[in-house]
């Protein structure tokens, strides 16, 4: 593992992307995401974590076809870390970033939403892309100019395992990652609904620089989308 991050030579922003493709029936959705990256993020490094599946060889072949137009680094998630969601794939993407030793201004997090749900067609994917990926320029401009650490699609209040929402005064998110990083504060009970969000690079850099390397070797039952709230509140200076 690399302990000290170094300056990226070329690309100022990067994407951490997770793919869980149970079968090849929705491979075309992955192609759509990759096409969006070509048109709006061709100047970015892309780190992709992939959950193993029967479609993994076709998926990797598709990704390889884009390597002439995109800077892509991908890897399969180890079996010990695989869960039936995007959690383990984003965890792997973070590990690839960690091992790269690169620094970035902004990190865009996302996953192959809709591919594991047969009833959600490409129109759903296009909606998410139109609201997030395609709006890169305006989102970047406003986030960089702000004192906020992150931005994401549609934030909501977490129930914290309770059936009813509680007053914010009495609520806090379960702490799943403190054993890997010494957080200074408790997190707020909010998370981004769709796992599409951006975090300023120095916040993630601080986490990766100081976290216990075992962070990349464990199964996490909580979506890492909640971890970005932790990073935002506890590491932003």
Please give the residue range of the domain that contains residue 89: 8-235
Q: What percent of the chain has pLDDT over 90?
A: 43
State the total domains in the chain.
1
172: in domain:
yes
The string of DSSP codes covering 160-175 is TT-SS---GGG-----
Q: For residues 219 and 170, which has the higher predicted lDDT (pLDDT)?
A: 219
3-class SS of residue 187:
coil
Vertex 223, ends 20 and 38: CA angle to 5°? Answer: 50
Give the mean pLDDT of 41-54. Answer: 94
Supply the pLDDT for residue 188: 65
Q: How far apart are CA 191 and CA 87, in angstroms?
A: 14
156: in domain:
yes
Cβ pair 74, 49 in contact under 8 A? yes
Give the mean pLDDT of 202-210. Answer: 88
The CATH number covering residue 26 comes to: 3.90.550
61: in domain:
yes
Give the mean pLDDT of 42-64. Answer: 95
pLDDT at position 148 over 80: yes
Supply the pLDDT for residue 181: 72
Query: Binning pLDDT at 50, 70 and 90, where does residue 146 land?
Result: very high
Q: How far apart are CA 142 and CA 139, in angstroms?
A: 5
Lowest-pLDDT range, 41-45, 81-85, 89-93, 103-107? Answer: 81-85
- In tens, the pLDDT along 56-68 reads 999 999 999 999 9
| Contact partners, residue 34, CB within 8 Å, separation at least 6 | 62, 63, 66, 70
Output the average pLDDT for the chain: 80
Lowest-pLDDT range, 117-121, 199-203, 206-210? Answer: 117-121
**How many Cα atoms occupy the beta-carbon half-sphere of 146 within 13 Å?**
14
Q: What percent of the chain has pLDDT over 70?
A: 73
Q: In what order do the strands lie in the sheet containing 106-111?
A: 71-76, 45-50, 13-19, 106-111, 197-200, 150-152
113: in domain:
yes
Supply the pLDDT for residue 176: 60
Lowest-pLDDT range, 41-50, 187-196, 219-228? Answer: 219-228
2: in domain:
no
Q: How far apart are CA 198 and CA 156, in angstroms?
A: 16
94: in domain:
yes
Supply the pLDDT for residue 210: 84
1: in domain:
no
**How many Cα atoms occupy the beta-carbon half-sphere of 127 within 13 Å?**
9
57: in domain:
yes
Supply the pLDDT for residue 215: 79
Supply the pLDDT for residue 232: 45
Give the mean pLDDT of 108-130. Answer: 83
Q: How far apart are CA 47 and CA 150, in angstroms?
A: 19
Among 128, 136, 135, CA closest to 112: 128
Give the mean pLDDT of 145-162. Answer: 78
Tokens, residue 146? 């702000």
Lowest-pLDDT range, 53-57, 68-72, 89-93, 208-212? Answer: 208-212
Among 150, 19, 42, 28, CA closest to 93: 19
């Amino acid at each position: 593992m690399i302990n000290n991050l170094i300056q990226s030579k070329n690309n100022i922003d990067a994407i951490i992307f997770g793919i869980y493709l149970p079968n090849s029936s929705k491979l075309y959705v992955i192609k759509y995401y990759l096409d969006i990256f070509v048109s709006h993020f061709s100047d970015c490094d892309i780190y992709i974590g992939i959950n193993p599946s029967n479609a993994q060889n076709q998926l990797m072949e598709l990704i390889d076809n884009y390597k002439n137009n995109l800077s892509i680094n991908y890897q399969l998630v180890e079996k010990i870390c695989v869960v039936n969601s995007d959690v383990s794939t984003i965890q792997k993407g973070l590990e690839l970033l960690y091992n790269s030793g690169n620094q970035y201004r902004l990190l865009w997090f996302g996953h192959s939403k809709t591919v594991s749900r047969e009833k959600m067609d490409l129109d759903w994917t296009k909606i998410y892309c139109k609201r997030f990926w395609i709006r890169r320029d305006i989102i970047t401009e406003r986030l960089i100019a702000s004192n906020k650490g992150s931005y994401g699609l549609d934030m909501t209040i977490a129930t914290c395992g309770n059936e009813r929402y509680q007053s914010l005064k009495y609520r806090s998110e379960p702490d799943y990652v403190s054993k890997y990083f010494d957080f200074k504060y408790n997190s707020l009970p909010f998370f981004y609904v769709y796992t599409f969000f951006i975090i300023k690079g120095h916040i993630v850099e601080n986490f990766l620089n100081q976290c216990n390397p075992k962070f990349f070797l464990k199964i996490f039952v909580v979506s890492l989308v909640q971890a970005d709230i932790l990073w935002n509140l506890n590491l932003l200076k």
